[in-house]
């Protein structure tokens, strides 16, 4: 588990130093190409990292969704921490399709 940001309104520069947020931003840039941590999305990104317990695999799976959804939209759809991260590729082994099946495996 990576350290997650505290539920306070940290300045953007301080959030960029957090390991979970850094991983989210790195992977979101790799997935979406044009992702950027901004004042508009920082609260959602920090909350996502906290709700995913700083788990690197969960963060990486969530960042793939940035191709189609803003962090706030991902957060809105995250009722079950593993449900949003379902739906892997058809070519993947069953245990690699979702975070839940990986943990069950």
Q: Does the structure show a pLDDT above 90 at 90?
A: no
Taking only the tens place, the pLDDT of each residue in 69-82 is 999 999 888 765 55
CA triplet 25, 97, 24: central angle to 5 degrees?
5
Q: Does 84 score more than 80 pLDDT?
A: no
CB 56 within 8 A of CB 23: yes
Q: Kindly report, residue by residue over 40-57, the tens digit of the pLDDT.
A: 999 999 999 999 999 999
Residue 103 has a pLDDT of 66
Q: Hey, where are the domains in the chain?
A: 12-79
Tokens 């399709």 belong to residue: 97
């Amino acid at each position: 588990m990576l350290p997650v940001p505290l539920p306070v309104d940290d300045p953007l520069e301080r959030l960029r130093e957090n390991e979970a947020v850094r991983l989210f931003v790195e992977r979101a840039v790799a997935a979406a190409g044009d992702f950027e941590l901004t004042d508009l999305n920082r609260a959602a990104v920090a909350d996502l990292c906290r709700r995913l317990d700083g788990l690197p695999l969960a963060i990486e799976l969530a960042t793939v969704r940035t191709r189609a959804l803003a962090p706030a939209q991902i957060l809105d759809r995250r009722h079950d921490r593993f449900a949003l991260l379902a739906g892997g590729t058809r070519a993947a082994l069953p245990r690699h399709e979702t975070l839940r099946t990986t943990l069950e495996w």
